[in-house]
A and B are shown apart, each in its own frame.
Chain A
């Protein structure tokens, strides 16, 4: 059982380039999230989805777009990468239900923008 898988694990981009991070979960979870983690800033929510075909903005959505065309996949796109987007990106998923609060995280994707 793979859980939450992120690809790629590492990527180096030049300013202005575009890329897509893929998050795939095999737990049939309804909710999926993208976070970025920077030193001293903790985990900040970029976008999230409460079901297939739905997306919503998080706390730091600017410069990112997302899509959830299939329940198991949540894509994070950078249309024109900037050095400020250098970070470690984590995807997470959660099952429906108030008492199942656990978010399951992927291993992270380290992105460097030069």
Chain B
């Protein structure tokens, strides 16, 4: 099964914060995050390889809780450019290179 993301959709005003969660019923060996603008291909944001790892650049960061099989993406002081659909991705089985994606979260930032 695909990892499940929550919320399914969120609307923000510029400057507000958001958290997107990714939860898997199976073990997560690594977690990737992507953003997809409407009509475009997904674009890589970051990868977390170890449980407990946290990463970030600019005002977007993420955490990975391996034991809980969850990852969260944090968007701080959102900008209009953050609008899009966010996907978490994971390798289904360590070393298989079988990459699957979560159900997606649609984010809309309003001026």
Interface residues of A (CB under 8 A from B): 31, 33, 35, 40-45, 48, 50, 56, 58-59, 90, 92, 94, 98-99, 101-108
Q: What residues of A have a CB within 8 angstroms of the CB of B8 in the complex? A: 40
- Total interface residues on B, CB under 8 Å, equals 23
Q: What residues of A have a CB within 8 angstroms of the CB of B101 in the complex? A: 35, 42-45
Contact B98 A56 (CB under 8 A): yes
Q: Is B41 interfacial (CB-CB < 8 Å)?
A: yes
Q: What residues of B have a CB within 8 angstroms of the CB of A108 in the complex? A: 41
Choose, from B42-50, B62-70, B71-79, the stretch at the interface. B42-50
Across the interface, A99 reaches (CB within 8 A) one of B41, B49, B102, namely: B49
Using an 8 Å CB-CB cutoff, how does the interface string of B93-111 with A read, 1 for contact, 0 for none? Answer: 0000111111110000000
Min CB–CB distance A103 → chain B (angstroms): 6
Across the interface, B99 reaches (CB within 8 A) one of A45, A106, A107, namely: A45
Contact B42 A59 (CB under 8 A): no
Q: What residues of A have a CB within 8 angstroms of the CB of B42 in the complex? A: 43, 90, 103, 105
Contact A98 B41 (CB under 8 A): no
Across the interface, B41 reaches (CB within 8 A) one of A48, A50, A107, namely: A107
Question: Considering residues B47, B99, B103, which has the most beta carbons from chain A within 10 angstroms of its beta carbon?
Answer: B99
Min CB–CB distance B84 → chain A (angstroms): 13
A92 and B107 alpha carbons, distance in the complex (Å) = 23
Q: What residues of A have a CB within 8 angstroms of the CB of B43 in the complex? A: 105
Q: What residues of A have a CB within 8 angstroms of the CB of B24 in the complex? A: none
Q: What residues of A have a CB within 8 angstroms of the CB of B32 in the complex? A: 101-103
Min CB–CB distance A55 → chain B (angstroms): 12
A48 and B32 alpha carbons, distance in the complex (Å) = 18
A101 and B102 alpha carbons, distance in the complex (Å) = 16
Min CB–CB distance B48 → chain A (angstroms): 9
Across the interface, B47 reaches (CB within 8 A) one of A41, A50, A102, namely: A102
Q: Is B2 interfacial (CB-CB < 8 Å)?
A: yes
Across the interface, B103 reaches (CB within 8 A) one of A41, A45, A56, A58, namely: A41
